Chains A and B, each alone.
Chain A
Amino acid sequence: MESLSQANHGPGSYTINLLFKHLLTTLLEVLRFSTLALVISLEAISVLQKWKPIFHFLLLSIFIFIFTIKPYFLSSTPVYLVDFSCFKPPDFCKTPFSLFLENASKIESFDKESVGFMAKILTSSGLGEETYLPPALHCVPPKPHQQESIKEAEMVLPPVMEDLLSKTKISPQDIDILIVNCSGFCPSPSLSAIITNKFSMRDDVKSFSLSGMGCSAGAIAIDMAQNLLKVHKNSYAVVLSTEILSTGWYPGHEKSKLLLNCTFRMGGAAILLSNKKEARKSSKYKLFFSVRNQRSFEDKSYVAAVREEDSEGKLGVTIHRDLLQIVGETLKYNVTILGEQILPTLEKFWHAVSIIRKRFFNRSEEIYVPNFKSVIQHFCLPTSGSPLIREMAKGLKLGEKEVEAAFMTLRRFGNQSSSSLWYELAYLEAKEMVKKGHKVWLLGIGTGPKCCSLVWECLRPIVGESNRGPWAGSIN
């Protein structure tokens, strides 16, 4: 049974699938070209041989069908990212280390060892002193009630949605698709229902709430919106990403569960996508490529990050020690497919050569990691913590400049889970590093484990963002 599931997965099968797709596309192209050649030669013969006019008509209709109508109907319209907004939490939610540790030491359920452990994690995490926690987590002890989480959701989502609507000058009634993702908190009515209620959206809006999908849920929601926009033409889709922390506080002793207490912080983002033709003029980005994969089929990877109760019945998310390695493996497959789609032929060639060399000649040799910087100019990596960012940078051969956005976002805002990627993009825009034609890679990795890559192409110059958005006042 297991071997069966293994046979369907693994890197080999993806590559094979892709090669097969390549082969098919090439075959079809060859077929089209040969048909064109055949049609032209038949036309030439018919002119020379003076065949009946019906033949001309037949050949002409074949020509029109193969080369005009078919491509027109079968090509998909691109998905544009019109604009996006990030939530800037109010300043009274700031959480310096002194407040965090003092509150932790006053919570009766924590012992001295737990507080000491969290202090160590805080100082080595890469977080700064101005990250934000919701008001419920400033209480001693924190208030884990449903009402507090609803209040936090109402503090985060409506303002960021308002900001997006005013920036893009559309009204809530124009929205056709709404996707809200939040891993930890799942109320009824759902978070998307809270938004459709607050903004009085249309009765036929297609709303979805994604929960439990971890830090990759934001990128996955965009991928889902892209698929929906293939079916629904001429539409606007809004994706809201956030993580509601008020319910997620772990009050116990297990170190593997205390990690998220230290690094998770408030955040939220709203993204407007569209497949309308007129959106191209005003949009910032076009979705160039997206790919998602998961490793939940493998038991060891499946349990890398699990929300469960500890021995005392307290709920928390266990982060296993080999998470870094599992993330690496999940990322590897995702990157392989991404590379095969967007890397230049030369890089793919060297990569293939090194695989062959490793397989048949020298097993201990390292596989050549292609130079992604040759096609992608900007990288938005998951901000789960300094160690993870450094590992990914090492694995993808990225330098200081490429990881600047991730480290700065981690320092200023902490790990905001699914919405972090948008704060990183906002940072790059605020520093005016993103130019027209540049490609940006947003990489979401989360529990599952799941991985989703989105590559965007910048459509227009982006200026003046340093005065707006969450980085206003932080960047000189």
Chain B
Amino acid sequence: MADITYICKRTVVSTKPVQPGKHFSLSVLDRLMEQNHLRFVYYFRAPGEIREPGELTEKLRESMSEMLTCFPIVTGRLMKNPEGQWMIKCNDAGVRMVEARIKGSVENWLKGVDREKELKLVHWEEMDHKPYFWSTFYVQITEFEEGGVAIGLSCLHLLADPTCASMFVKAWADMTLTGKMLNNPPLSHQLPPRGPAGRKNPSHDQPSMELINCYKSIADKTNLVSTDANHATIALAFSDPMVRAMAASDQSSPSPFEALAALFWVCISKLKGEGDGLIDMSVCSDMRSVLNLDNGFFGNCMVYNRVNSKNLKGQRLPDVAKAIGEVMSEMDKDGIIDLIEWLEHNDHQSPPTMNVCDLICASLEAVDPYLAVFEEDLIPVRVSCYVEPVVGVGHVLVLPSPPGEGPFSRVVMVTLPEDEAVRLCEDDLILSFSPTILMGVNN
């Protein structure tokens, strides 16, 4: 596999300046994600006409400049406010972009790609000692010499969750394709307050504790499970009928996420030596629709909740999926607002690292990356997502499939210690649902 040639790194600025003195403060949900960053890779197959090398990159650069005028939070820089918390100063400093070239074609690359290679398509820099000069968003455009392009986006999780990141790329694609933004520019950053109507269920005067307890226990956990092992990421595609069959039973019909989360929870627990039992697991999902937020809400809106594994020892998939479904339904508007109020009350100076202790199963179904169409024939053929750094048990990300493969089909990206990842690919239960291995573990 040919190596990447990095051509240059530059700063891309917006075409219209932001009014001076503008600031964005970050919410409690944002501040929890400070230690993490996201990485996305979008692959595009070669369009019909042959282009000069660098021509597409130049076009994308110019359309990004136009689009950035609507994302002042992305082009701003981190500063600490008087309370010592992070906030964004909108100073138009821009976004860092890396341009690269690679031999071969997208198709050949996708056949043999693994985690290590894929991460080369996304540039990321850790925060340096001068946060004010540190870009929070990075974009890498890698042109394949035989055709096709890969666009990598990485960003600090403090500012954006996966839904925002895909919103950013879609806005960029719309600007490139049509010359304007099709969706409204992203909205301000405030999480909704309780509102004058009060709780839905007035009989519950006490705040609902399930979510709060989950976050409390994560914050309290001092012994972080850290492994020295290399991690590997595998991507498995499950077809529509398979997912339907997965956890269907007479009593319930779980959602695709619940079914897949159940499957992977059971199999990974087995791998980790739990036998019939299940390891600690938390689910995570986008709560914009629950909180009645516009899709243009730019900020973290993914909430975690722990699934109680005690009663699920030896249970079959449909029951596990049902338990997951119950936990998901606990994440209702009142519960989340109680959680937000509790977090605001108990704001720690150094927030806990969210994605470390348990196995995390995150639903990224609200992310629709395949809408990012840059040109008429420049449509994404595959999208990968990483939540870094991975230091703990591992995580399972459930993403939508490319369009046309059925409403229940999904792509699951699992990151585990390398040896466990290899064994997972050979697991009978998983293989019984005939997944296509999009990305395996190369030795």
Pair B11/A102 contact, Cβ less than 8 Å:
yes
Pair B91/A98 contact, Cβ less than 8 Å:
yes
Pick from B13, B77, B91, B133: contact of A92, CB under 8 Å: B13
Tell me, in angstroms, the Cα distance from A381 to B17 when the chains sit together.
28
A-B pairs with CB below 8 Å: how many? 61
Pair B12/A138 contact, Cβ less than 8 Å:
yes
Could you tell me the distance in whole angstroms from the C-beta of B126 to the nearest C-beta in chain A? 14
Pair B11/A103 contact, Cβ less than 8 Å:
yes
Interface string of B113-129 (1 = CB under 8 A from A): 00000000000000000
Tell me, in angstroms, the Cα distance from A113 to B265 when the chains sit together.
55
Tell me, in angstroms, the Cα distance from A103 to B11 when the chains sit together.
7
Pair A102/B16 contact, Cβ less than 8 Å:
no
Which chain B residues in 385-412 approach chain A with CB under 8 Å?
A: none
Knowing A99-B13, A105-B133, A138-B12 are in contact, say whether A92-B93 is a contact too (CB < 8 A).
no
Pick from B8, B62, B77: contact of A139, CB under 8 Å: B8
Interface string of B56-73 (1 = CB under 8 A from A): 000001100110000000
Which residues of chain A come closer than 8 Å to B16, judged between CB atoms?
Answer: 91
Interface extent on B, as a size class?
20 to 34
Q: Does A253 make an interface contact (CB < 8 A)?
A: no
Pair B94/A99 contact, Cβ less than 8 Å:
yes
Could you tell me the distance in whole angstroms from the C-beta of B81 to the nearest C-beta in chain A? 18
Tell me, in angstroms, the Cα distance from A467 to B14 when the chains sit together.
23
Please give me the 9 A-B residue pairs with the lowest Cβ-Cβ distance, nearest first.
A91-B15, A92-B65, A98-B93, A98-B91, A139-B10, A96-B92, A102-B133, A139-B8, A138-B10
Interface string of B1-23 (1 = CB under 8 A from A): 00000001111111111000000
Tell me, in angstroms, the Cα distance from A103 to B91 when the chains sit together.
14
Tell me, in angstroms, the Cα distance from A37 to B130 when the chains sit together.
88
Which residues of chain A come closer than 8 Å to B135, judged between CB atoms?
Answer: 102
Tell me, in angstroms, the Cα distance from A101 to B91 when the chains sit together.
12
Pair A138/B65 contact, Cβ less than 8 Å:
no
Interface string of B87-101 (1 = CB under 8 A from A): 000011110100000
Interface string of B275-313 (1 = CB under 8 A from A): 000000000000000000000000000000000000000
Could you tell me the distance in whole angstroms from the C-beta of B220 to the nearest C-beta in chain A? 39
Which chain A residues in 68-109 approach chain B with CB under 8 Å?
A: 90-92, 94-96, 98-99, 101-103, 105-106
Which residues of chain A come closer than 8 Å to B15, judged between CB atoms?
Answer: 91-92, 94
Pair B13/A106 contact, Cβ less than 8 Å:
no
Sample (15) of A-B pairs whose CB atoms are under 8 Å apart: A90-B62, A92-B12, A94-B15, A96-B92, A96-B93, A98-B91, A98-B94, A99-B13, A99-B93, A102-B11, A103-B11, A135-B61, A138-B12, A140-B9, A140-B11
With CB as the reference atom, state the residue of chain B lying closest to A91. B15
Q: Does A280 make an interface contact (CB < 8 A)?
A: no
Interface extent on A, as a size class?
20 to 34
Pair A138/B17 contact, Cβ less than 8 Å:
no
Could you tell me the distance in whole angstroms from the C-beta of A111 to the nearest C-beta in chain B? 14
Pair A129/B92 contact, Cβ less than 8 Å:
yes
Which residues of chain A come closer than 8 Å to B66, judged between CB atoms?
Answer: 91-92
Tell me, in angstroms, the Cα distance from A130 to B20 when the chains sit together.
13
Q: Does A143 make an interface contact (CB < 8 A)?
A: yes
Which residues of chain B come closer than 8 Å to A92, judged between CB atoms?
Answer: 12-13, 15, 61-62, 65-66
Tell me, in angstroms, the Cα distance from A207 to B65 when the chains sit together.
37
Tell me, in angstroms, the Cα distance from A91 to B61 when the chains sit together.
12
Knowing A94-B15, A94-B17, A105-B130 are in contact, say whether A140-B92 is a contact too (CB < 8 A).
no
Interface of A is mostly: helix
Tell me, in angstroms, the Cα distance from A138 to B10 when the chains sit together.
5
Pair A96/B17 contact, Cβ less than 8 Å:
yes
Pick from A91, A106, A129: contact of B133, CB under 8 Å: A106
Tell me, in angstroms, the Cα distance from A57 to B77 when the chains sit together.
92
With CB as the reference atom, state the residue of chain B lying closest to A112. B130
Could you tell me the distance in whole angstroms from the C-beta of A173 to the nearest C-beta in chain B? 30
With CB as the reference atom, state the residue of chain A lying closest to B91. A98
Question: Which residues of B are in contact with A by a Cβ distance under 8 Å?
Answer: 8-17, 61-62, 65-66, 77, 91-94, 96, 130, 133, 135
Which residues of chain A come closer than 8 Å to B11, judged between CB atoms?
Answer: 99, 102-103, 138, 140
Pair B10/A102 contact, Cβ less than 8 Å:
no
Pair B133/A96 contact, Cβ less than 8 Å:
no
Which residues of chain A come closer than 8 Å to B94, judged between CB atoms?
Answer: 98-99, 102
Which residues of chain A come closer than 8 Å to B17, judged between CB atoms?
Answer: 94, 96, 129-130
Tell me, in angstroms, the Cα distance from A95 to B13 when the chains sit together.
7
With CB as the reference atom, state the residue of chain B lying closest to A106. B133
Which residues of chain A come closer than 8 Å to B77, judged between CB atoms?
Answer: 98, 102
With CB as the reference atom, state the residue of chain A lying closest to B96. A140
With CB as the reference atom, state the residue of chain B lying closest to A137. B10
Pair A139/B13 contact, Cβ less than 8 Å:
no
Pair B133/A138 contact, Cβ less than 8 Å:
no
Which chain A residues in 447-463 approach chain B with CB under 8 Å?
A: none
Which residues of chain B come closer than 8 Å to A102, judged between CB atoms?
Answer: 11, 77, 93-94, 133, 135
Which residues of chain B come closer than 8 Å to A129, judged between CB atoms?
Answer: 17, 92
Which residues of chain A come closer than 8 Å to B96, judged between CB atoms?
Answer: 140
Which residues of chain A come closer than 8 Å to B13, judged between CB atoms?
Answer: 92, 94-96, 99, 138
Could you tell me the distance in whole angstroms from the C-beta of B396 to the nearest C-beta in chain A? 37
Could you tell me the distance in whole angstroms from the C-beta of B216 to the nearest C-beta in chain A? 39
Which residues of chain B come closer than 8 Å to A91, judged between CB atoms?
Answer: 15-16, 65-66
Could you tell me the distance in whole angstroms from the C-beta of A129 to the nearest C-beta in chain B? 6
Q: Identify which of B12, B13, B92, B93 gathers the most chain A CB atoms within 10 Å of its CB.
A: B13
Pair B9/A99 contact, Cβ less than 8 Å:
no
Which residues of chain A come closer than 8 Å to B65, judged between CB atoms?
Answer: 91-92
Which residues of chain A come closer than 8 Å to B9, judged between CB atoms?
Answer: 139-140
Q: Identify which of A92, A95, A135 gathers the most chain B CB atoms within 10 Å of its CB.
A: A92
Which chain A residues in 349-369 approach chain B with CB under 8 Å?
A: none
Which residues of chain A come closer than 8 Å to B130, judged between CB atoms?
Answer: 105
With CB as the reference atom, state the residue of chain B lying closest to A90. B62
Tell me, in angstroms, the Cα distance from A380 to B344 when the chains sit together.
59
Which residues of chain A come closer than 8 Å to B93, judged between CB atoms?
Answer: 96, 98-99, 102
Tell me, in angstroms, the Cα distance from A90 to B15 when the chains sit together.
8
Tell me, in angstroms, the Cα distance from A245 to B273 when the chains sit together.
64
Knowing A91-B65, A92-B62, A105-B133 are in contact, say whether A98-B92 is a contact too (CB < 8 A).
yes
Which residues of chain B come closer than 8 Å to A140, judged between CB atoms?
Answer: 8-11, 96
Which residues of chain B come closer than 8 Å to A96, judged between CB atoms?
Answer: 13, 17, 91-93
Tell me, in angstroms, the Cα distance from A138 to B17 when the chains sit together.
16
Could you tell me the distance in whole angstroms from the C-beta of A16 to the nearest C-beta in chain B? 55
Could you tell me the distance in whole angstroms from the C-beta of B390 to the nearest C-beta in chain A? 28
Given contacts A91-B66, A98-B93, A103-B11, 14 further A-B contacts (CB under 8 A): A90-B62, A91-B15, A91-B16, A92-B15, A94-B14, A99-B92, A102-B11, A102-B94, A105-B130, A105-B133, A129-B17, A138-B10, A138-B11, A139-B9
Could you tell me the distance in whole angstroms from the C-beta of A101 to the nearest C-beta in chain B? 8
Could you tell me the distance in whole angstroms from the C-beta of B179 to the nearest C-beta in chain A? 13
With CB as the reference atom, state the residue of chain B lying closest to A104. B133
Could you tell me the distance in whole angstroms from the C-beta of B401 to the nearest C-beta in chain A? 35
With CB as the reference atom, state the residue of chain B lying closest to A92. B65
Tell me, in angstroms, the Cα distance from A102 to B135 when the chains sit together.
9
Could you tell me the distance in whole angstroms from the C-beta of A235 to the nearest C-beta in chain B? 39
Tell me, in angstroms, the Cα distance from A143 to B99 when the chains sit together.
13
Tell me, in angstroms, the Cα distance from A101 to B93 when the chains sit together.
9
Which residues of chain A come closer than 8 Å to B133, judged between CB atoms?
Answer: 101-102, 105-106
With CB as the reference atom, state the residue of chain A lying closest to B69. A91
Q: Identify which of B8, B61, B66 gathers the most chain A CB atoms within 10 Å of its CB.
A: B8
Pair A143/B8 contact, Cβ less than 8 Å:
yes
Which residues of chain B come closer than 8 Å to A143, judged between CB atoms?
Answer: 8
Tell me, in angstroms, the Cα distance from A139 to B57 when the chains sit together.
14
Could you tell me the distance in whole angstroms from the C-beta of B130 to the nearest C-beta in chain A? 7
Tell me, in angstroms, the Cα distance from A99 to B12 when the chains sit together.
9
Which residues of chain B come closer than 8 Å to A95, judged between CB atoms?
Answer: 13
Q: Identify which of B10, B65, B96 gathers the most chain A CB atoms within 10 Å of its CB.
A: B10
Which residues of chain B come closer than 8 Å to A138, judged between CB atoms?
Answer: 10-13
Tell me, in angstroms, the Cα distance from A91 to B8 when the chains sit together.
21
Which residues of chain A come closer than 8 Å to B10, judged between CB atoms?
Answer: 135, 138-140
Tell me, in angstroms, the Cα distance from A94 to B92 when the chains sit together.
10
Tell me, in angstroms, the Cα distance from A101 to B15 when the chains sit together.
18
